[in-house]
Chain A
Amino acid sequence: MNHIFRKLQVTFPQQASILNQSLCRATPSIQHPVWCTAAMNERQYRDMPTHGIGRWRHLLLKQAPKKKKDRNQQKELVSATDTAYGTLNVTVSGYDMTVVEHYSQYIHNFCNRLNIKVADSYALPTKSTEVLLMQEQGNKTYVDAVLKTHQRVIQLSSLNASLCPVFMDVILKNQPEGVQLSVQEHTEADYQARFKARPELEGLVAQINQ
């Protein structure tokens, strides 16, 4: 039985080669276009030695994906040492928003230039003050003006004690008119004051604690 199969096998390649040759000669024009060579599914340049020569993202360290919640987490409070102050809040406040903002930008740029690390830079909510004047004839008061107080805070993570007098001197000498400057320690209470009160949550907590 085997020899019969062998004979059959022998004849097949002969027939196949004849077929191939005929195919080759019959269809030379189809083979010239580049996208028809070999098999359609394989990309030839993956075998090229320079394949992936420009790849660089695989060399970077893996970064954890940033979540939106992380942005507003509280930064750690740096405590004061013998040679440096801890976390300080430089608050700039005034009635004229452009002046206040420009001055806070100036302080921020100045800190960058002196390599003082700026931890955070945010704005506190605007406070509106109504100025009521008594009328000349009569007892009624009427609204004369509405003054809005804007506040900008620049948080410095640490300030070297030897740099402090220089820093303070320059920002004091460049203080514009109508702007109040205040430098204070940053406390936990300052951070919590920025959040809105949640009355329902507080009510529920009080109920639990009762």
Chain B
Amino acid sequence: MAAPCRKMASRSYSQLLCCFSRTAVGSGACRRFSVTPIDRATPRASTAADRATSPWSLMAAVCLQRLPVITADCSPIEQRFKQMLQQMELEKSMLSDHELRLMEDAERMSRRQADDYDSDEDLGDQEIMMTQDLEDTWEQRLKNFQPAPRVRADVDEDLTSVQRCLTDSLVLLAEQQVGAEKLWLLPQAAWQEGETLRRTAERALDSMTAAGVRATFLGNAPCGVYKYKLPKAARTESSVGVKVFFFKAILVDGTPGSAPTAPLLWLKKSELQKYLKPAYMMNVGRFILNL
């Protein structure tokens, strides 16, 4: 792979400042995320002598992932274990300030109710709010709080929604015209002279989805490659086949927008098999983590 290797060496290099945070499900379905490139070195221009003519044409594709928003449910064994550990911790723990105050108040009440109660003994200022009342107000506030439902069956069925399956990570697929037929692929674009492969992948993402999708690429190096030969009829001297390089990216913000240029799907790794061709799936499945 002569040409691609050289391309990688002369690619522009940038430092990343990434901030990832996992907060409660608020407005969006995605994590708060910020990227600040510190230093972007100018790419060394490749001279004509460097570029050897190769019969393989290059393309770059982007593997855009939406990370899970809420934790997955525990399996029965995990639940039982969790309960047992919580019970053990509770039994080993010390009393908190609040519980100590509750006990003191109960003791004081019982002393007051006793027959030989001397009001002079009751030193210290009278608390306006008894600790038990505090606890009751907190309980009331908790009852008034309605958390959002964790699983919404109707949204899960909708394959185009980015809010589906909040416990799993999803991958974006787009339907593209390759040769004579329409195939479901990771969004890809052809490499042009003078740009880096990562830039090509960014262009692929921008062209497939409307503006408003913000993604952070995880690095300048590709995570996988797929090469295929063109059918015998289409093969010529200068083009035998195509090599596609995959770049990983994380969805930062927002839905793909109201009017994407091509039909898009958000799929879990287990569902990818139904839409991708077997050889492509084997290659792509190697770098998509099922965590």
Chain A residues with a Cβ under 8 A of chain B? 80, 82, 85, 161-162, 164-166, 168-170, 172-185
Across the interface, which residues of B come within 8 angstroms of A173, CB to CB? 67-68, 169, 289, 291
Q: Which 10 A-B pairs have the closest CB atoms?
A: A165-B218, A173-B291, A165-B219, A180-B21, A164-B219, A162-B221, A181-B20, A182-B19, A168-B218, A165-B248
Determine whether the beta carbon of B67 is less than 8 Å from that of A172.
yes
Contact flag A175-B71 (CB < 8 Å), given A80-B13, A166-B223: no
User: Known: A161-B219, A173-B67, A173-B289. Contact between A82 and B13, CB under 8 A?
Assistant: yes
Give chain A nearest CB distance to B167 CB in angstroms.
12
A173 to B269, CA, bound (A): 14
Contact B22 A183 (CB under 8 A): no
Interface string of B230-247 (1 = CB under 8 A from A): 000000000000000001
CA distance A110 to B247 in the complex (A): 22
Q: Are A185 and B9 within 8 A (Cβ)?
A: no
Task: Find out whether the CB atom of A172 lies under 8 angstroms from the CB atom of B20.
Answer: yes
B162 to chain A, nearest CB (A): 17
Are B289 and A177 closer than 8 Å at their CB atoms?
no
- B65 (CB) vs chain A CBs: closest residue: A169
Q: What's the nearest-Cβ distance from chain B to residue A171, in Å? A: 9
In the complex, 11 of the A-B residue pairs with CB atoms within 8 angstroms, ordered by the A residue number, are A80-B15, A161-B220, A164-B218, A169-B218, A172-B20, A176-B71, A179-B22, A181-B19, A181-B21, A182-B20, A183-B17
Q: Is the CB of B22 within 8 A of A82?
A: no
Residue on B nearest A171 in the bound complex, by CB: B20
Separation in Å of the B89 CB from the closest CB of chain A?
Answer: 11
| Residue on B nearest A83 in the bound complex, by CB | B9
Q: How many A-B residue pairs have CB under 8 A?
A: 71
Complex formed: what's the CA distance from A85 to B15 in Å? 7
Bound CA–CA A25/B21 (angstroms): 96
Cβ 8 A contact of B223, one of A165, A172, A176: A165
For the complex, is B18 an interface residue (Cβ under 8 Å from A)?
yes
Which residue of the partner chain B has the closest CB to A181? B20
B residues near A (Cβ < 8 Å) are 9, 13, 15-24, 38-39, 65, 67-68, 70-71, 169, 218-221, 223, 247-248, 250, 289, 291
Interface of A is mostly: mixed
Judging by beta carbons under 8 Å apart, are A169 and B22 in contact?
Answer: no
| Cα distance, A184 to B39, chains bound together (Å) | 12
Closest residue of A by beta carbon distance from B11:
A82
Complex contacts, B18 vs chain A, CB 8 Å? 168, 182-184
- Contact of B20 with A180 in the complex, beta carbons under 8 Å: yes
| Shortest beta-carbon distance from B150 to chain A in Å | 13
Q: Quick check: B221 and A183 within 8 Å, CB to CB?
A: no
**How far apart are B99's CB and chain A's nearest CB, in angstroms?**
16
Assess whether B15 is in contact with A185, with CB atoms less than 8 Å apart.
Answer: yes
**Which residue from B13, B22, B65, B221 sits with its C-beta under 8 Å from A175?**
B22
Give the CA-CA distance A127 to B38 in the complex, in Å: 27
* Interfacial chain A residues near B220, Cβ < 8 Å: 161
Can you name 10 extra interface pairs (CB under 8 A) apart from A164-B218, A168-B18, A169-B289? A161-B221, A165-B219, A165-B247, A173-B291, A175-B67, A177-B22, A178-B23, A180-B19, A180-B22, A181-B19
Residues of A within 8 A of B23 (CB): 178
**Contact indicator A170/B291 (Cβ below 8 Å):** yes
> In the assembled complex, which residues on chain A have CB atoms less than 8 Å from the CB atom of B291?
170, 173-174
Contact residues in A for B39 (Cβ distance below 8 Å)? 80
Residue of B nearest to A164 (CB): B219
Chain A, Cβ-Cβ closest to B19 = A182
Alpha-carbon distance A169/B247, docked complex (angstroms): 12
User: Measured between alpha carbons, how far is A178 from B19 in the docked complex, in Å?
Assistant: 14
* Chain B proximity of A102: nearest CB distance (Å): 14
> Whole-angstrom distance from the CB of A98 to the nearest CB of chain B?
11
Q: How far is the CB of A182 from chain B (nearest CB, A)?
A: 5
Q: Which residues of A contact B219 (CB under 8 A)?
A: 161-162, 164-165, 168
- Minimum CB–CB distance for A10 against chain B, Å: 95
Task: Name the residue of chain B whose CB is nearest to the CB of A159.
Answer: B219
**Within the complex, what minimum Cβ distance (angstroms) separates A80 from chain B?**
7
